Amino acid sequence: MHKMFMSDIPSTDHGYFASLSPLYQIVEGIQLVRKSQQTENIKFENRLSMETLVPHWRAQAKNTAIMSMHSMAFRNIPLTEKSRIFKSLWQNIYRFERIQMSTEIFGEECVNEKKLAISCERAIQLDSLFFDIEGVAQNKLNVTLQDYKTFAQRCVEEVAKPLAKLKLSIEEVAYLILNFVMHNEESIIGDSLEICDAFRDRVANCLHEYYQKNNITNYAQRISKMMSIINAMKRIHYDDLGGTFVANARNAMEIEEISKVEETKVEIVDDDDEDEEIIVD
């Protein structure tokens, strides 16, 4: 992420990008990371392992950084502050973007059949999902899986369901992603908060102009519903019912290894004359 934040992607010298409003700059970022999005040919992969998940998370973190760098306000924040903000928010942004994309690809099936597009190439069906993590006992995996399904079910009910009803435009998606990046008092402080507040006002004006241009007049209630989705996503993010499954899996693996070591470290061999302690390193 450090390399991404130090880069000039997208180039602000490019006439077209520089001419765009803040809202449409983020639209450009979303379209860029969705360029290879599969729809009819998306592959369902319900077996998830650390070998598949870790590269997947890295790719999604990069995509989220690309989207964030399409915001000039975010780009103008100092590097150390930018990295700190991104570290605390990227999962939230990624989850929201993927859930919204899932409603576009699968429609009602996203909610009714719990189909989620976790990347441009892969999707999962929640009820068929299982973890295959080497070195972790099945009973521990079952607990971890249940934790993850509880988290994902909340995403479906509290986020995907209202998103499917609203059928957001790409401009509205950009507006909500900008709200994730720029409206977070817990992560953004000091001068950066002032920069982000001023930028959010500009973006709100851009959205107002979008509605006027498209002859959408009574949009106050729509924006209220959109912000309710943002708040729901933030609650899920802070509860982090899904994110803890990685830590749980790692802890389970460590406990499993410790148990094996303890079983073999000290063996008591019953001899005719004495008990001999054998240390196995």
Place of tokens 């004495």: 274
Using H for helix, E for strand and C for coil, what is the string for the chain? CHHHHHCCCCCCCCHHHHHCCHHHHHHHHHHHHCCCCCCCCCEECCEECHHHHHHHHHHHHHHHHHHHHCCHHHHCCCHHHHHHHHHHHHHHHHHHHHHHHHHHHHCHHHHHCCEEECCCCEEEEHHHCEECCCCCCHHHHHHHHHHHHHHHHHHHHHHHHHHHHHCCCHHHHHHHHHHHHHCCCCCCCHHHHHHHHHHHHHHHHHHHHHHHHCCCCCCHHHHHHHHHHHHHHHHHHHHCCCCHHHHHHHHHHHHHHHHHHHHHHEEEEECCCCEEEEECC
pLDDT at 278 over 50: no
Q: Return the minimum-mean-pLDDT range out of 129-133, 166-170, 181-185.
A: 181-185
The per-residue pLDDT for range 225-265, each reduced to its tens digit, is 999 998 898 888 777 644 554 555 555 555 555 555 555 55
- pTM for this model (two decimals): 0.81
Please tell me the distance from the alpha carbon of residue 268 to that of residue 182, in angstroms, as a whole number.
62
Query: Could you tell me which CATH number the domain at 20-249 has?
Result: 1.10.565.10
Residue with more model confidence, 264 or 10: 10
- Name the residue ranges covered by the structural domains of the chain: 20-249
Angle subtended by helix axes 220-239 and 79-106, to nearest 10: 110
* Local confidence band at 185 (pLDDT 50, 70, 90 cut-offs): low
Give me the mean pLDDT over the 25-48 stretch: 93
User: Are 280 and 264 contacting, i.e. CB atoms less than 8 angstroms apart?
Assistant: yes
User: Could you tell me the CA-to-CA distances from 131 to 42, 91, 108, 245 in Å, in that order?
Assistant: 20, 20, 26, 11
pLDDT at 216 over 50: yes
Q: Return the minimum-mean-pLDDT range out of 39-43, 72-76, 78-82, 261-265.
A: 261-265
What's the whole-number average pLDDT of the chain?
82
* Local confidence band at 266 (pLDDT 50, 70, 90 cut-offs): very low
